[in-house]
Amino acid sequence: MPMRKKADVVIIGGGIVGTAVARELARFKLDITLVEQHPDLSMGTTKANSAILHAGFDAAVGTLKAKLNVRGNELYRAWQEELGLDIKLIGSLVVATDEEGLLVLEQLHERGRQNGVPGLVLLSREAVLEREPHLTPATLGALFAPTGGIMDPFGVTLAFAENAVRNGVEVLTECKVEQVEVSDDEVVGVHTSQGFIEARYIINAAGVHADDISRSANDHSFAIHPRKGEYMLLDKSVGNFVRSVIFPTPSKVSKGIVIAPTVHHNTFVGPNALAIDDKEDLSTTAEGLAAIVAGAKSLVPGVPLNAAITQFAGLRAVADGDDFVIRPATGVRGLIHAAGIQSPGLTAAPAIAEMVVDILRSEGLSLHAKIDFCPENPARALFRDQEAPEKQKLIAENPLYGRVICRCEMVTEGDILDAIHRPCGARTLDGVKRRTRAGMGRCQGGFCGPRVTSILSRELKIPIPAVRKDTAGSFLFFDKIRGTHEVKDHE
Amino acid sequence: MNEKHYDVVVIGGGPAGLAAALSASEQGAARVLVIERDRELGGILQQCIHNGFGLHRFDTELTGPGYAERYIKMVKATPSIDVLLDTMVVDLMPDKTVLAINSVEGLQKITCPAIVLAMGCRERTRGAIRIPGTRPAGVLTAGAAQRMVNMEGYIPGKKVVILGSGDIGLIMARRMTLEGAKVLAVFEIMPHSSGLTRNVVQCLEDFNIPLHLSHTVTAIHGRERITGLTYAAVDENLRPLPGTEKYLACDCLLLSVGLIPENELSREIGLNMDALTGGPVVNQERETSLPGFFAAGNVVHVHDLVDFVSEEGDIAGRFAAHLAQGQTNVGAQEFSVTPGHGVRTVVPQKIKIDVKDPGTAKLYLRVAEPQRKITLSVSSGGMTLLEKRFPVAKPGEMIVLELDASQLEKVVGDVIVEIKR
């Protein structure tokens, strides 16, 4: 029986933008439903990107990108503590290796000043190489941004979503929007795979699919042109090969091949930039990987690429005109786009959310602050991050914290159960992985994969063949072909 | 925090660790502890339900669990050996302090004069070999699939392709066939299999499963589950040959592309490592570069037969026990053992020789590529110590050479093991 329900606002898309909007709207007395087509949040563009907190000197002066990047960077720093966000302000460097590059640095420096980026400074060759000794000897200088940094996009998305849920927002996963229903040029609701949701305001944060959502409401005012980027992730054993986020001087289509640490102590290189037609194409290619290897080597010749543990690709949701599309829909009242969110969208997301709230207000939605809004999430304590006495205490309270399931990343069964049973909990193998890092280490789940699969089966009360990797149909195992048998659980 | 003291602590309760514990106990170590992270002893043997284990050790053919059970029974019958199951070593210090956790006792601190590292190895992954394409469900290492099929009772696919002809891949080709799946092909990038000959015959040829040598998988297709893959022939530099790409529909890809000794703990305490084996540098007593730390089994170098793993555990356990009881041959001089022409790896990488009592030493080596009618030579300072002829030598099969006291006496400098040109 499909549901029929009602909300004041429906947010389409559970990525960084949709969840940031949900959390901002949760400050007000509203019924809010966020719908996500996949079994977990953060499954689109938010899942695979450079995970960089951009300082804000790249985007052209006066663009939404420029304005929202700088504001978003500020907001992340302001919210870091209350939401327990995994952000590290390690600083970023744009490195010039020729005279032309030095001119670009000066332009970026000036642009950054106009965009309002704090603390930018041009570094001499010696100062750069002292900071980053592995950089190419061809280095001539760099632009240093102290507010540049790195973050965990999935963790941040989850923190936004969890806080939204704790403040009354409803999150529906595996709920795919089929069509936005419009009557007399006004939004009246959305048809989803789980039924109709009546709503007068809809936020379109559907990433690479935002233009499809828009068209379903008869608004053909923009199109999304996915641009693929491929990445390579290196093992933690590489250590502090680089300490900052390192960019080459930028090209017209992208900021170039970056090398940077991740908040989880790995190192990554990438991305390239390739315009594609297929919105689901997350394949990596030998040519693409060769291009990022070449790009990385031109900046840091000794980058230990033999420590690669995985490759992946992500899609940038590029709109016509190249700037963000954050505005009411054309010709339809009640539909607000937060679309075309490519880089620096991750950094801009909190500011995008603020802007969406302002648009809703001017579109006639009454916003009354909730006095009992709680901006904090309870601390999410992973076992491995605790000091010895806290570890003892955790095991004493719950012995499952003493059972290590993922040995590469030291993830215990207690951590995994918490990841499954928290608000917006894990429903898939990759969901557990992204919440706890189980399976993200050097053995890439070779050891813990079968064990986590069994735990998911037990906790979600589903058979093993119903456990999935990440997407709705990504089943991992089958019953044996020669007939199945009941196995009694003796535990 | 709970604190304990032992004479010998063995990290890992697989075949190397069990043999080391037994041997340490037989050699007089009064208190021996085995720390195992899984719920039972036996290590990876427990999921190896096929036969072929124990021909050297027990003179009979056993299954993996059968082989493990013999050792587990002996360990349980030895009162001086304690076992901690479901327990993970979280920290190891150069002063031989071990920090471990489990559900029952929480964090605990264990001190001892001698430690045997027996952590085994792990499988190389898709990421390490950089196969392009999508990242769907249905792509997993052969060992993970083996656990799921043999211990949990589920299969990872019904139309299976295997990349790599390591022993686990070969064994899984047969297992998946016996479970009713269709194994379409095994691709091996090298011009020869990296597994045992008997496994190529018994697991592929007997089931008409094609082995494509000098071929590799160049792309994985499918969004949610794998739907197919592209494979291609490779040139002598192992690069895919343009124009030879073909598509093959499948719903599962198992990877058997190499094993890597599990040495995170060894690196933490700064042991000297051998870049070729991936394990710590050891001498013939299996002592590492840090006194009091011994190592045995696949953590030192990946073995072909469990029998040799047990043998190495014996050695490490024996000398760990001697050290714990204060016996050391202080007058000994140490020499390097290095692989020369045609030899890829040699263990031990060091030999220490006490001229008053040189003893014997076994060298375990692997050749770089398959060859017929070779003579292996062991020499030191230009003098040949030993020459031995072999009708066939394959990289997948370990070769053992034994040096006796009269040969060891003649060692005057570094020892080189090579194929005679």
Mean pLDDT in chain B?
95
Distance between CA atoms of A265 and A242, rounded to whole angstroms?
A: 11
Residues of A in contact with B224 (CB under 8 A): 469, 471-475
- Which candidate in A47, A284, A315 is best for mutational testing of the B interface (most B CBs within 10 A)? A284
Mean pLDDT of A31-46: 97
Distance between CA atoms of A83 and B173, rounded to whole angstroms?
A: 49
Mean pLDDT of A378-404: 90
The shortest C-alpha distance from B40 to chain A (Å) reads 13
Q: Please list the active-site residues of A.
A: 54
Which phi and psi angles does A363 have, rounded to 5°?
Answer: -85, 0
> Chain A residue with minimal CA distance to B261?
A443
Amino acid at A233: L
Residues of A in contact with B130 (CB under 8 A): 232, 289, 308, 311
Q: Is A435 or A2 the better-scoring residue by pLDDT?
A: A435
Homologous superfamily in CATH for domain B125-257? FAD/NAD(P)-binding domain (3.50.50.60)
Select from B1, B134, B140 the Cβ nearest to the Cβ of A388: B1
Return the DSSP state at A208. Answer: G
A482 with B179: Cβ contact below 8 A: yes
Angle between helices A153-166 and A429-436 (to 10 degrees): 100
Domain spans of chain B, in order of start: 1-122+259-328, 125-257, 331-421
Q: How far, CA to CA in Å, does B107 sit from each of A389, A393, B103, B283, B298?
A: 9, 10, 9, 33, 27
Amino acid at A259: I
In the beta sheet, which residues pair with residue A197?
A5, A190
Report the CATH fold assignment for B1-122+259-328: FAD/NAD(P)-binding domain (3.50.50)
Amino acid at B243: G
Mean pLDDT of B223-232: 96
Mean pLDDT of B20-40: 97
- Which candidate in B35, B154, B263 is best for mutational testing of the A interface (most A CBs within 10 A)? B154
Select from A283, A407, A474 the Cβ nearest to the Cβ of B225: A474
Select from A308, A474, A485 the Cβ nearest to the Cβ of B130: A308
Mean pLDDT of A269-292: 90
pLDDT digit string, tens, across residues A283-341: 999 899 999 999 999 999 999 988 888 889 999 999 998 899 999 999 999 999 999 99
pLDDT digit string, tens, across residues B149-162: 999 999 999 999 99
The shortest C-alpha distance from A234 to chain B (Å) reads 9
Could you tell me the pLDDT band of residue A488, with boundaries at 50, 70 and 90?
very low
| Sequence-separated (6 or more) residues with CB below 8 Å from residue A267 | A233, A234, A238, A241, A242, A259, A260, A261, A303
pLDDT at A151 over 90: yes
- Which candidate in A462, A477, A489 is best for mutational testing of the B interface (most B CBs within 10 A)? A477
Could you tell me the pLDDT band of residue B202, with boundaries at 50, 70 and 90?
very high
Distance between CA atoms of B156 and B144, rounded to whole angstroms?
A: 10
Report the pLDDT value the prediction gives residue B358, as an integer from 0 to 100.
85
Question: Which segments of A96-193 does DSSP mark as H helices, in order?
Answer: 99-115, 125-131, 153-166
> Chain B residue with minimal CA distance to A479?
B154
Output the six-digit token pair for A48. Answer: 């695979």
The shortest C-alpha distance from A275 to chain B (Å) reads 17
- Which candidate in B130, B250, B252, B255 is best for mutational testing of the A interface (most A CBs within 10 A)? B130
Residues of A in contact with B106 (CB under 8 A): 391-392, 395-396, 402
A309 with B125: Cβ contact below 8 A: yes
The shortest C-alpha distance from B147 to chain A (Å) reads 7
Angle between helices A16-25 and A345-362 (to 10 degrees): 40
Q: Which of B119, B17, B26, B116 is nearest to B79 (CA)?
A: B26
Could you tell me the pLDDT band of residue A481, with boundaries at 50, 70 and 90?
low
Which phi and psi angles does A112 have, rounded to 5°?
Answer: -60, -40
CATH of region B331-421: 2.60.40
Distance between CA atoms of B339 and B345, rounded to whole angstroms?
A: 6
Asked whether the beta carbons of B47 and B168 are under 8 A apart, the reply is no
Report the pLDDT value the prediction gives residue B46, as an integer from 0 to 100.
96
Mean pLDDT of A414-421: 96
In the beta sheet, which residues pair with residue A202?
A10, A335
CB pairs under 8 A between A and B: 148
Select from B107, B127, B135 the Cβ nearest to the Cβ of A309: B127
Which phi and psi angles does B24 have, rounded to 5°?
Answer: -60, -40
Residues of B in contact with A288 (CB under 8 A): 132
Asked whether the beta carbons of A338 and A356 are under 8 A apart, the reply is yes
Select from A232, A407, A480 the Cβ nearest to the Cβ of B154: A480
pLDDT digit string, tens, across residues A59-87: 999 999 999 999 999 999 999 999 999 99
Report the pLDDT value the prediction gives residue A485, as an integer from 0 to 100.
46
Whether B125-257 shares its CATH topology with B331-421 is answered no
pLDDT at B329 over 60: yes
Residues of B in contact with A454 (CB under 8 A): 152
The shortest C-alpha distance from A408 to chain B (Å) reads 9
